[in-house]
């Protein structure tokens, strides 16, 4: 009963709790040693026909949880350095946003500029006009660079009121969609969101909902949801999200359409596309230890769900990819139409698209690159689960922040591929 109760209490970092792949050389949880980024690639096993390349690593990037690319091909990185417990008082917030550049065109982003720092629990960004829209500290903010030096010089708070009671379950993944609205995943804790620029607007409750807004008029709206840490669209504008036990869920019907007919007997507007919960299966190749042995071999930290939409990997186009950092792996689902929704099927039975024997490999997010590659965001930590929800024997580990000076970004390409400008 103790283990079952603990499993019910588990949350996620953004989506990263609920299970822990302990990095242990002994029963006390002494961490194994980290390895260099280039050596870490040698510990990875990827599907035939594909290769993993290093795009960026420490010291240029540390504790990355999300990336985006701008129109110039620069990589914008969110570093959640606050994880897991935030800054120690009276220290300042620790999260950062950086701009990484590949100035010599070799595929490695060797130059990093701090765009904004002293941010609290930053979770995502979306390039917009002369800056980025970012989710942090229970807010949606617009960080502007008015002189083009890749350093933010103006900050505008657009919305506030997103839940902050849990350091992991926060609004995330601001994403500009085909309808020119920005969509944001709830984080599972909801909130009552108010428009700072339009104080006359009533608060919008996002309990059980996701959030979107018009970035020109800044009009807020609660929409069907709610995602935990992950939000993605396909080429036709279908929206998907994930949560720790649900690797891919589709919004089949938006609430605004359902509201037109109050008599419609529709119980839910979302549907799992991939097998979820206890029926889900993952196949890690590293040592495993979970806070509930009932969940071994299942998704317990699904995050960063992404539909591949590039042109460099045509056999992957339209496929869905989801990270499980506690399993040190990236899972692939092949999607086919099934009525108004989709049906997902693992691309290979009994083996993952990408997995590593390196227990520090913590893929937490994915991104489509302008070069057509699929990018993997690796937070690279010894421990990824929040210490609040682990058994007492794990709380004796020497330091839950091991690896807080590291981070990697990888790109997945076809064999023998070179960097594309």
Q: What is the pLDDT of residues 323-355, one digit of tens each?
A: 999 999 999 999 999 998 999 999 999 999 999
> With 90 as the cut, is the pLDDT of residue 421 above it?
no
pLDDT of residue 2: 37
Look at residues 375, 388, 406 and name the one whose alpha carbon lies nearest to residue 66. Answer: 375
Question: What average pLDDT does this structure show over 37-46?
Answer: 98
Model confidence pLDDT, tens digit, residues 224-277: 999 999 999 999 999 999 999 999 999 999 988 888 887 888 888 999 999 999
Look at residues 227, 228, 185, 191 and name the one whose alpha carbon lies nearest to residue 206. Answer: 191
pLDDT of residue 16: 38
Look at residues 353, 420, 358 and name the one whose alpha carbon lies nearest to residue 49. Answer: 353
Structural domains in the chain, CATH included, are: 2-414 (2.120.10.30)
> With 90 as the cut, is the pLDDT of residue 20 above it?
no
Q: Which residues touch 338 (CB under 8 Å, ≥6 apart)?
A: none
pLDDT of residue 14: 37
Strands 408-414 and 209-213: unpaired
Euclidean distance between CA atoms 142 and 132, whole angstroms: 6
Euclidean distance between CA atoms 300 and 55, whole angstroms: 28
pLDDT of residue 260: 86
Side-chain half-sphere of 230: how many Cα atoms within 13 Å?
Answer: 33
pLDDT of residue 362: 97
Model confidence pLDDT, tens digit, residues 154-212: 999 999 999 998 878 999 999 999 999 999 999 999 999 999 999 999 999 999 999 99
Question: What average pLDDT does this structure show over 55-82?
Answer: 98
Q: pLDDT-derived band of residue 290, with 50, 70 and 90 as boundaries?
A: low
pLDDT of residue 242: 99
Cis peptide before 84 (omega within 30 of 0): yes
pLDDT of residue 394: 63
> With 50 as the cut, is the pLDDT of residue 21 above it?
no
> With 90 as the cut, is the pLDDT of residue 283 above it?
yes
pLDDT of residue 259: 82
pLDDT of residue 31: 53
Q: pLDDT-derived band of residue 384, with 50, 70 and 90 as boundaries?
A: confident
Q: Which two tokens stand for residue 230?
A: 């992950």
| Three-state DSSP class for residue 260 | coil
295 against 320, higher pLDDT: 320
DSSP 261-316: -TT---S-SEEESS--GGG------S----S-GGGTTS-SS-EEEEE---SS-GGG
Question: What average pLDDT does this structure show over 42-58?
Answer: 98
Q: pLDDT-derived band of residue 15, with 50, 70 and 90 as boundaries?
A: very low
Tell me, rounded to whole angstroms, the distance of Cα 181 from its chain centroid: 20
Phi (first) and psi of residue 258, to 5 degrees: -65, -35
pLDDT of residue 6: 32
> With 70 as the cut, is the pLDDT of residue 29 above it?
no
Euclidean distance between CA atoms 118 and 115, whole angstroms: 11
């Amino acid at each position: 009963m103790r283990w079952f109760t603990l499993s019910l209490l588990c949350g996620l970092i953004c989506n990263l709790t609920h299970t822990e792949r302990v990095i242990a050389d002994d029963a006390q949880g002494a961490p194994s040693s980290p390895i260099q980024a280039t050596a870490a690639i040698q510990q990875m096993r990827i599907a035939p026909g594909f290769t993993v390349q290093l795009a960026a690593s420490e010291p240029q990037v540390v504790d990355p949880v999300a990336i985006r690319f701008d129109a110039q091909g620069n990589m914008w990185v969110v570093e959640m350095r606050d994880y897991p417990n935030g800054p120690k008082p009276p220290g300042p917030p620790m999260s950062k946003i950086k701009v990484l550049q590949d100035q010599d065109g070799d595929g490695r982003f060797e130059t990093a500029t701090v765009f904004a720092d002293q941010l609290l629990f930053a979770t995502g960004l979306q390039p917009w006009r002369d800056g980025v829209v970012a989710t942090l500290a229970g807010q949606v903010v617009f960080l502007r660079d008015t002189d083009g030096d890749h350093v933010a010089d103006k900050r505008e708070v657009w919305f506030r009121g997103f839940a902050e009671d849990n350091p992991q379950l926060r609004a995330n993944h601001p994403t500009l969609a085909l309808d020119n609205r920005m969509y944001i995943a709830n984080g599972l804790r909801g909130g009552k969101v108010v428009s700072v620029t339009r104080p006359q607007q009533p608060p919008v409750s996002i309990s059980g909902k996701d959030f979107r807004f018009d970035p020109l008029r800044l009009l807020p709206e609660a929409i069907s949801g709610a995602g935990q840490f992950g939000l993605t669209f396909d080429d036709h504008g279908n929206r998907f999200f994930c949560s720790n036990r649900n690797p891919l869920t589709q919004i089949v019907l938006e609430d605004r359409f359902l509201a037109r007919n109050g008599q419609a007997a529709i119980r839910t507007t979302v549907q799992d596309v991939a097998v979820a919960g206890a029926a889900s299966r993952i196949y890690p190749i590293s040592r495993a230890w979970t806070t509930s042995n009932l969940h071994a071999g299942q998704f317990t930290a699904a995050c960063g769900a992404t539909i591949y939409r590039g042109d460099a990997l045509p056999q992957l186009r339209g496929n869905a990819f989801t990270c499980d950092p506690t399993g040190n792996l990236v899972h692939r689902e092949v999607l086919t139409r099934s009525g108004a929704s989709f049906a997902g099927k693992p691309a290979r039975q009994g083996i993952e698209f990408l997995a590593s024997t390196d227990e520090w490999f913590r893929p937490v997010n994915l991104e489509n690159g302008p070069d057509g590659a699929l990018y993997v965001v690796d937070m690279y930590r010894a421990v990824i689960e929040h210490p609040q929800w682990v058994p007492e024997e794990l709380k004796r580990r020497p330091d839950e922040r091991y690896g807080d000076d590291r981070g990697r970004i990888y790109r997945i390409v076809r064999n023998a591929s070179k960097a594309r400008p």
